[in-house]
Structure 1
Amino acid sequence: MAELLYRLGTFAARRGWVVIGSWIAVLAIAAGGFLIGFKGLATSFDIPGTASGEVIAELEEQLPDFAGASGTVVFETEDGEAFTEAQKDAIGALVDDADGLPDVSGVVDPFDTEAERAEQAAKLADGRTQIADGEAQLDAGQAQLDAGLAQLDDAQAQLDAGREQATAAGFPTDELDAQQAALDAQREAVAGQQAELDDARAELETQQQRLDDGAELLGFADGIRMVSEDGSAALVNVAFTEPRLELEQASKDAVIDHFESEPIDGVTVSFSTDIAQGVPKIIGVGEVVGVAFAAVVLLVMLGSIIAAALPIVTALVGVAIGALGALAFSGVVQMASVTPILGVMLGLAVGIDYSLFIINRHRKQLLEGAEPIESIGLANGTAGNAVVFAGTTVIVALLALNVTGVPFLGLMGTVGAISVLIAVLIAVTMTPAILGLLGIRVLGKRARARIGQVHHEDAKAKPMRTWRAIGTVLVSAAALLAIAVPALDMRVGLPDGSSEPADSASYRAFMTTEESFGAGANGPLLVTASLPSGLDDDAVDAAQLEVARTLSEQPDVTAVAPIAVSEDGELAAFQVIPAEGPNAASTDALVRELRELPAIDGDIELGVAGQAAINIDISENLLDVLPLYLAVVVGISLLIMILVFRSILVPLIATGGFVLSLFATYGAVVALFQFGWGADALGIHTGPILSFLPVILVGILFGLAMDYQLFLATGMREAYVHGAPARLAVARGFRAGRSVVIAAGLIMISVFGGFVFAESTMIRSIGFGLAFGVLVDAFVVRMLLMPALMHLLGRSAWWIPKWLDRILPDVDVEGAALERRHHATPAA
């Protein structure tokens, strides 16, 4: 590999414009692909096979109107007073005109809904009055029948007495028989009237039961309001025909544009995250500042504006190709909005670093008097070889995200891996090409004056003292473990409106809804009930009531409302309002409790969906795959480093240090984004940790940690192989690689740190996690803990079983064999 890269470097140096032109052509192709293939990005996430996914699939089949995405438009009066009639009419007009918007299946007028609620309550009251009146009439009729029956009993008694006297006297009873027949007829008429009265009373009791059931259902739904109690806020529900993952951004933008098209005097409008959460900007002010800081670091290290600009230029070209190329496939695969941004993060950071490693090696050789073209080839074969190997570790770690079985996470890893691959290819081709065009100008004027004045830094290196190494190990490990403590309380989830910037429409909508309608209104649950087949209408109503009763009895449920029944009567849907918001621990517990409920009446099974339940399912699944992914990455790291360093203990040290820095990063992320320590200064709203962040951090930080391990430990191994005592080799290798690792670490931190100031909460947490992870891994683990442990291990650090040493291939990451074959000849 080293020899191939040497030849590639010399070719690129001699054919600079050809190589640069080729990359410009690739960039143009990527741009053309973007213009043709870009179809928009998804702002939500999904994992197939989840419990909520199964419920949604059932809804799509039997109740399709409730399977699509939905969102809320929030209206609020500016003075806090109730809406005027004119304001209500204006809102109603906007609602009426919204039905024709793309992908919109229905829009609910809040004032009509509240009027219907009041009408239902009035009907219930009228029904109770009518039933009371009917009962009074029935009671009066029963009294009349009872009085008539008493009269008939008296007449019968008199008739019986007369018959007894007539029979005793021997008189004929024909007249008495006629009277008995008339009396029997009257008694039969009374019995008929009694039957009619009993039927009427039974019907009245049935109506009373229905009325009671309706009142009970209405009482369960009492906490679901569309207009606040004080009349100052109203919620307009917007339902879409497409599922949330398939809903185009243009459709959501159309809703926003429509409801903002005609401002209403004295009324503000805002939108829930389901509507307002758009695709975050790929590059913002924070990212520009981060790159500017990286430029300062490069300028300080390289001492030349031209040399400092080179890594940034090549990195930007790589980022442009990677981002445009990824977006070109957005019409083919479902791509989350954060996916290309992750590629930009990685492309910028590693693109600058990898180019820096080659430029730094080339500059050192020039200062020793090497001929430029030969020096470029040698730098590409040595430092470039290390870049290829380091980039490969990052690529492997990112591609391993596909083992999680989570499609959007695997795609993120794949896009990130491609971005890193492009950065590697540009580093070993375009960087040598530009260096060839620059020639000796890559050195500043002061540096050119020192050409040929070789300084042997190794001579100044001395082993650290053992007591200092012990102290460094103890203090570093203790500090990392202390920072990791908050990670024990990590809660994962997906961001809701409360975590958005305070001046955003999503945050205003979330807070207005919480203050005016209760926290649970921001995260309603959609509960389905599978009913037995063959039920008539009355039985379906009874089953709905029984389900509603069961749901309302659960803790942390504030309201329940039946919203639909399928045409075959076998699936009923209910809206359930929890006591707290979608990311609250109580809502999480409620979803689990509802899913664990036994079948109602023995045969009615419940399912739970809704945005809160979907977020819980996604977070739980991602947390479940974290141990598997961590095991895969750690296993890969051990194998790669055993191959590179031909040692058993060095890989164990490197891997153990990575695990420490990883959990310290988790702790810092939890402290800032969940506990809120220092969040106010950055304008961050606290909440659960982004559900896929822990997994993403494993892959990316592992790859970057191996980069720094590689550039430090290979120098140590090289010094040891060349005969230096083990502890002196540690000092020499550290001294040789520290400057470039410090610069690379600062560049990574500045680039990732720039994303902390992005508008999207997701991007903020990813940027902070990566920046902090690089900080502790590069400056604590690789530059403090690892050298100290290597010092304490001494020669045993490089021990490897002889049988394993024989079968391992010699990868020669630093290109030592290449240096022996190609000496950088002095310039004429």
Structure 2
Amino acid sequence: MSVRNPLAGAPLRAARWSATHPWRAILGWLALVVVAVVLASAVPTNTADDADYREHESGRAAQWIDDAGLSNPLTENVLVTAGASGLDPARAEAAAAEIVREMAEVPGVEEAMAPVWSSDRSALLVAVRLAADHEETKGLTAVTEAVQEEYADLRVRQAGDLTIDEGVGEQIESDLASAEGISLPVTLVLMMFAFGALVAAGIPVLLAASSVAVTIGITAPVSWLVPAEPTVTSMIVLIGMAVGVDYSLFYLKREREERARGRSTLDAVEIAAETSGHSILVSGLAAVVAMSGLYVVGGVTFNSLATGAILVVAIAVLGSITVLPALLVKLGRWVDRPRVPGLWRLNRRIGRGGISRRLLEPVLRRPAVALVLGGAVVVALAVPMLGMKVHSANLETLPASIPEVATASDMAKAFPLEGASVEVVVRAGDADTDPAQVRSALSALDEAAARTGDFVAGGASAARVSDDGRTMVLDLAIPHEESDPRVDDAVELLREDLVPTALAGLDVDRAVGGGAAESYDSARHLATYLPIVIGFVVLLTMVMMVVAFRSVLLALVSSVLNLASVAVAFGMMTLVFQHGWFAGALDFTSPGFLIDWIPMIVLVILVGLSMDYHVFVLSRIREHVRRGLPARLAVEQGVIDTAGVVTSAAGVMVSVFAIFATLSMLEMKMMGVGLAVAILLDATLIRLVMLPAVLVLLGDRVWARSEVPGEPVVEPAPVLVVSRP
């Protein structure tokens, strides 16, 4: 009994409808863009708040603190330190006193607290407590700037909850604006090289940009189901431009190729739908499967990023199999106008596969040797990932070029309580619990923690107590850098030994939270789920490949090669960001670790994007196999046929990701370097060397069951196959 492939036929039916109703398809797409833009302006985005991020034991502690009304208020801190001529204590105290007086008059300030000297009397700190709903910093910074101007012999700087967020937000906006401003013209130039004609080059960029616009509009109402992470728009732009350009590129290249063989525009569009359209649908579904792996991790961040990525991929696929055929039918041969003479000739030379043919010759002659050598390179680049360390983002990972970040770092050095810290939250189990006993236990805990050397004694008398007396919070500072491994050891010691010992015999609930504990919980959670997500993504993409190609062997090969690309990405990120390779060239200071969520994101993005041209190459090879070519010749001709498209697609991705590697935010650098290097290696070494080598070695066994009802079969076109003995 034969089984019809459920993926077959849909792109052809969509293309035929669009080709026969082009204006309906085009106007329908424009209407979708307009509706999305209206949605974005009419429906407010539900951005995730602090409560949405509360997970694990640290999240439970934060929730208890919030329920008891003991949350620390928003604060801004003003740091007074020595100027060029040194520190005059009297002048510093006068400046601090003036800050206290002036800040107390600013609307929204609840209290400007008395100045505090650092232990070595090198700095004065003025803490300003703000009202819970206060979000305005202009009045506060005006005071700081005025005092700095009056006391020019001192350094008067401000940093706190609001100003650091503002500084980082402005830097991210600047980075993204810079990336978009560079990436769009770069993408357009690459498309000019790919097509040699202005209209053809503009179509992929236009379709990708419109897909991104539609997705951003749709995410506004969707955010009321899945709260939006602030970085989700960046993810949509990054993924949307990559897949939108790639899908259009695949389709448009095939349509032009068929027209060059003498077919009419309508026939060429139908053939492109049967072949490239089918590949787009398969690769799009594979990308959706890969992105859905983020749901396994859970949490508002990954749920939001997964939702945005899946939506933009789905919309890009929809546009590629509907409005793109309509545009091609209406434009006809005008799609190749106006031609850029030099680029047109260059494009036609590259399109014949001369470069790829020369690279393939030694691979096809000695496939086993090529596979071993290629594998050795992959292993060498991947080995560093075995020592990969992860940690949550902190002050060390923020650009020191942001003034507020530099100020906060100096505060943390002078005043340890402004650095890594934890909160021990104790909640009475019943009304009979004696608050005095709990306070006594916290006092003993404070002393025991200080004796370990991993904590700074704060005094249990300073513990925060709720109005009903049932909840108490003890703040403990950790005198180590936030990324120091001793911080994690301190959190473990507190949770597993110090807190249980101090509270033994008391009927209380307890939890250790605070910044250091949140980082600890996040890193452990992601380390636990990374192998699970890898298994999930690999398994489901294997299933997708089996459904699409009816070959378990081919699905296994695809999964192994995808894992090779991921391993290279992890290895390179470890070398660059953990060990500091090329830190000077990339303009960053190595924090000694990777930001904890980056490997997970790079994994799903890389698998999703690399499947684009992987499926495209395999589909073309299968076409030749089903036309009767021996496996070796089918591999050769299929790789040569697709080399120009794969090079163009990978070039776009590598260029965009390389631009992200130049941005100031370390998260963007990590993603940019990991993805750019992995995509470059994936499109060259893996797809031009290792994939052909393994397919030649496996021979016809890979394609033994690929002929099933419902699959597109294109009539042979004149193909020149140059074989080598």
Query: Is the structural similarity TM-score above 0.5?
Result: yes
Give me the whole-angstrom Cα distance separating, in 1, the residues matched to 2:400 and 2:454.
28
Q: Would you say 1:88 and 2:96 are equivalent positions?
A: yes
1:656, CA displacement in angstroms? 0.8
Equivalences for residues 436-451 of structure 1 within 5 A: 436-444=329-337, 445=339
Which residue matches 2:187?
294
Which residue matches 2:113?
109
Which residue matches 2:121?
230
Q: Would you say 1:472 and 2:370 are equivalent positions?
A: yes
CA contact 1:480–1:660 (8 Å) conserved in 2:
yes
CA contact 1:43–1:277 (8 Å) conserved in 2:
no
1:634, CA displacement in angstroms? 0.9
Give me the whole-angstrom Cα distance separating, in 1, the residues matched to 2:662 and 2:345.
42
CA contact 2:144–2:157 (8 Å) conserved in 1:
no
1:347, CA displacement in angstroms? 0.3
Give me the whole-angstrom Cα distance separating, in 1, the residues matched to 2:436 and 2:573.
54
CA contact 1:483–1:667 (8 Å) conserved in 2:
yes
CA contact 1:354–1:423 (8 Å) conserved in 2:
yes
Equivalences for residues 765-804 of structure 1 within 5 A: 765-799=670-704
Which of 271, 275, 285 does residue 159 from structure 2 map onto? 271
Q: Would you say 1:658 and 2:658 are equivalent positions?
A: no
Which residue matches 1:97?
105
Helix, strand or coil at the partner of 2:501: coil
CA contact 2:289–2:541 (8 Å) conserved in 1:
no
Which residue matches 2:257?
364
Which residue matches 1:574?
474
Specify the code of the residue in structure 2 equivalent to 1:495.
A
Give me the whole-angstrom Cα distance separating, in 2, the residues matched to 1:53 and 1:448.
59
Q: For residues 538 and 420 of structure 1, do their structure 2 counterparts lie closer, same or farther at Cα, with a shift above 3 Å needed? A: closer
Equivalences for residues 11-410 of structure 1 within 5 A: 11-13=17-19, 15-39=21-45, 41-42=47-48, 47-62=53-68, 64-66=69-71, 72=77, 74-76=79-81, 78-79=83-84, 81=87, 82=89, 83-98=91-106, 100=108, 106-111=110-115, 114=116, 227=118, 229-236=120-127, 238=129, 241=132, 251-252=134-135, 254-255=136-137, 258-260=140-142, 263=145, 264=147, 265=149, 266=152, 267-272=155-160, 275-278=163-166, 279=169, 280-281=172-173, 283-327=176-220, 329-330=222-223, 333-410=226-303
CA contact 2:562–2:610 (8 Å) conserved in 1:
yes
Give me the whole-angstrom Cα distance separating, in 1, the residues matched to 2:384 and 2:126.
38
Specify the code of the residue in structure 1 equivalent to 2:454.
D
Helix, strand or coil at the partner of 2:483: coil
Which of 472, 484, 501 does residue 584 from structure 1 map onto? 484
Query: Whose radius of gyration is greater, 1 or 2?
Result: 1
Q: For residues 670 and 46 of structure 1, do their structure 2 counterparts lie closer, same or farther at Cα, with a shift above 3 Å needed? A: farther
Which of 676, 693, 716 does residue 621 from structure 2 map onto? 716
Task: Spell out, residue by residue over 1:759-800, the C-alpha distance to the aligned partner (whole angstroms, 9 max, x if none).
Answer: 433333233332233222222222221111112222333356
Specify the code of the residue in structure 1 equivalent to 2:389.
R
Helix, strand or coil at the partner of 2:277: helix
Tell me the percent identity.
24
Q: Would you say 1:617 and 2:521 are equivalent positions?
A: yes
1:511, CA displacement in angstroms? 2.3
Task: Spell out, residue by residue over 1:7-46, the C-alpha distance to the aligned partner (whole angstroms, 9 max, x if none).
Answer: 5334434554443333232222222222222347459796
Give me the whole-angstrom Cα distance separating, in 1, the residues matched to 2:219 and 2:409.
36
Which 10-residue stretch deviates more, 292-301 or 626-635? 292-301
Give me the whole-angstrom Cα distance separating, in 1, the residues matched to 2:13 and 2:457.
72
Q: Would you say 1:602 and 2:504 are equivalent positions?
A: yes
Task: Spell out, residue by residue over 1:380-412, the C-alpha distance to the aligned partner (whole angstroms, 9 max, x if none).
Answer: 332122111111111122123223233321221
1:542, CA displacement in angstroms? 3.4
CA contact 1:716–1:729 (8 Å) conserved in 2:
yes
Give me the whole-angstrom Cα distance separating, in 1, the residues matched to 2:476 and 2:628.
73
Q: For residues 236 and 433 of structure 1, do their structure 2 counterparts lie closer, same or farther at Cα, with a shift above 3 Å needed? A: farther
Q: Would you say 1:508 and 2:406 are equivalent positions?
A: yes
CA contact 2:144–2:158 (8 Å) conserved in 1:
no
Q: For residues 664 and 449 of structure 1, do their structure 2 counterparts lie closer, same or farther at Cα, with a shift above 3 Å needed? A: closer
Q: For residues 10 and 476 of structure 1, do their structure 2 counterparts lie closer, same or farther at Cα, with a shift above 3 Å needed? A: same
Task: Spell out, residue by residue over 1:87-125, the C-alpha distance to the aligned partner (whole angstroms, 9 max, x if none).
Answer: 223321343235626xxxx555241xx4xxxxxxxxxxx
Give me the whole-angstrom Cα distance separating, in 2, the residues matched to 1:465 and 1:767.
30
CA contact 2:450–2:457 (8 Å) conserved in 1:
yes
Give me the whole-angstrom Cα distance separating, in 2, the residues matched to 1:274 and 1:42.
17
Flag structure 2 segments of 5+ consecutive residues without an equivalent: 1-6, 719-725
CA contact 2:99–2:144 (8 Å) conserved in 1:
no
Give me the whole-angstrom Cα distance separating, in 2, the residues matched to 1:554 and 1:71.
31
CA contact 1:752–1:771 (8 Å) conserved in 2:
yes
CA contact 2:266–2:329 (8 Å) conserved in 1:
yes
Specify the code of the residue in structure 2 equivalent to 1:424.
V
Helix, strand or coil at the partner of 1:502: coil
CA contact 2:488–2:520 (8 Å) conserved in 1:
yes
Q: For residues 239 and 590 of structure 1, do their structure 2 counterparts lie closer, same or farther at Cα, with a shift above 3 Å needed? A: farther
TM-score (norm 1): 0.75
Specify the code of the residue in structure 1 equivalent to 2:603.
V
Give me the whole-angstrom Cα distance separating, in 2, the residues matched to 1:557 and 1:626.
31
For this pair of structures, how many residues does the alignment match?
Answer: 683
CA contact 2:78–2:156 (8 Å) conserved in 1:
no
Q: Would you say 1:732 and 2:637 are equivalent positions?
A: yes
Give me the whole-angstrom Cα distance separating, in 2, the residues matched to 1:414 and 1:439.
36
Which 10-residue stretch deviates more, 580-589 or 410-419? 580-589
Helix, strand or coil at the partner of 2:227: coil
Give me the whole-angstrom Cα distance separating, in 1, the residues matched to 2:178 and 2:384.
31
Helix, strand or coil at the partner of 2:511: strand
Helix, strand or coil at the partner of 1:559: coil
CA contact 2:40–2:216 (8 Å) conserved in 1:
no
CA contact 1:227–1:235 (8 Å) conserved in 2:
no
Give me the whole-angstrom Cα distance separating, in 1, the residues matched to 2:521 and 2:60.
11
Helix, strand or coil at the partner of 2:217: helix
1:75, CA displacement in angstroms? 5.0
Task: Spell out, residue by residue over 1:435-469, the C-alpha distance to the aligned partner (whole angstroms, 9 max, x if none).
Answer: 2332212225569999x99x997998986566632
Specify the code of the residue in structure 2 equivalent to 1:553.
R
Specify the code of the residue in structure 2 equivalent to 1:55.
A
Which residue matches 1:634?
538
Which residue matches 2:553?
649
Helix, strand or coil at the partner of 2:15: helix
CA contact 2:92–2:124 (8 Å) conserved in 1:
no
Which 10-residue stretch deviates more, 784-793 or 366-375? 366-375
Q: For residues 333 and 449 of structure 1, do their structure 2 counterparts lie closer, same or farther at Cα, with a shift above 3 Å needed? A: closer
Equivalences for residues 450-599 of structure 1 within 5 A: 464=362, 468-518=366-416, 521-530=418-427, 539=437, 542-561=440-459, 562-597=462-497, 598-599=500-501
1:272, CA displacement in angstroms? 4.3
Helix, strand or coil at the partner of 2:322: helix
Q: For residues 799 and 367 of structure 1, do their structure 2 counterparts lie closer, same or farther at Cα, with a shift above 3 Å needed? A: closer
Give me the whole-angstrom Cα distance separating, in 2, the residues matched to 1:439 and 1:581.
63
Q: Would you say 1:693 and 2:598 are equivalent positions?
A: yes
Helix, strand or coil at the partner of 2:456: strand
CA contact 2:650–2:680 (8 Å) conserved in 1:
yes
Q: For residues 644 and 329 of structure 1, do their structure 2 counterparts lie closer, same or farther at Cα, with a shift above 3 Å needed? A: closer
Q: Would you say 1:673 and 2:584 are equivalent positions?
A: no
CA contact 2:240–2:316 (8 Å) conserved in 1:
yes
Q: For residues 544 and 463 of structure 1, do their structure 2 counterparts lie closer, same or farther at Cα, with a shift above 3 Å needed? A: closer
Give me the whole-angstrom Cα distance separating, in 2, the residues matched to 1:93 and 1:42.
36
Which 10-residue stretch deviates more, 285-294 or 538-547? 538-547
Flag structure 1 segments of 5+ consecutive residues without an equivalent: 115-225, 243-250, 824-828
TM-score (norm 2): 0.85
CA contact 1:59–1:66 (8 Å) conserved in 2:
yes
Give me the whole-angstrom Cα distance separating, in 2, the residues matched to 1:71 and 1:769.
36
